[in-house]
Amino acid sequence: MNMSVVGRQFELTDAIKGHIQSAVESLKKYNLDIISTRVVVSADEKNGKKGYTVEFTINLPQKNTVVIKQKDKDVYAAIDLAVDRAQKVLRRHHDKMTDHRVTKPSEIANVNIEELVDSDIHEADVDEIVPMELDLYKPLEIEEALEMLKESNKQFLIFIDKDDKTRVLFKRKDNKFGLY
């Protein structure tokens, strides 16, 4: 990776250059094959107040160039904020590359068909869970819920009580009822 550090209207010290180099080195962890990085540090003075502008220009292969500008009163703070923003952008690029991989046809051809048949047989042994919707959405008294559970052949009833708490009323083995 090529890296250049430039100071405009500002004398770059060895400490600032070292801070920038260590910051740029931290961008390598995303494995994006960064072609070049250009850092421009410039001093601004408006209305008697001194400030610094840091501009990172990061060239990536087969992608657009990433340009990040950050202003702050302190040069080190401006560098750190710009690096944080650059890391966020590069992390997003990295996540897109790793999460959106497409399976190639050559990889599909290598899958053994017998393994797929065996996995289907094993899936048939597993209990199936069927999602169901709740029948009632209005708040109930506990006595009303108890009557509904007695009338049905269900083992439990989930309902919302008058205090907006989700409650579970269930049949016990000793023919009594429990309440959570």
The SS3 assignment for 125 reads coil
Domain holding 171, by residue range, is 142-179
Give how far the C-alpha of residue 14 lies from the chain's centroid of Cα atoms, to the nearest Å: 37
- Range from 34-38, 107-111, 120-124 carrying the lowest mean pLDDT: 120-124
CA distances from 55 to 49, 65, 86, 123 (A): 20, 13, 10, 56
pLDDT at residue number 148: 87
Q: How confident is the model at residue 122 (pLDDT cuts 50, 70, 90)?
A: low
pLDDT at residue number 80: 94
Domain identity same for 148 and 93: no
Mean pLDDT over residues 133-160, rounded? 82
Domain identity same for 86 and 12: yes
pLDDT at 126 over 90: no
Domain identity same for 30 and 94: yes
pTM of the model: 0.53
Last residue of a domain, one of 37, 65, 99: 99
Number of domains in the chain: 2
- Position with higher pLDDT, 123 vs 16: 16
Any idea what the Cα angle at residue 92 is, between residues 91 and 96, rounded to 5°? Answer: 115
Residue 35 lies in a domain: yes
Which tokens go with 79? Answer: 């560098």
Mean pLDDT over residues 161-180, rounded? 87
- Position with higher pLDDT, 42 vs 136: 42
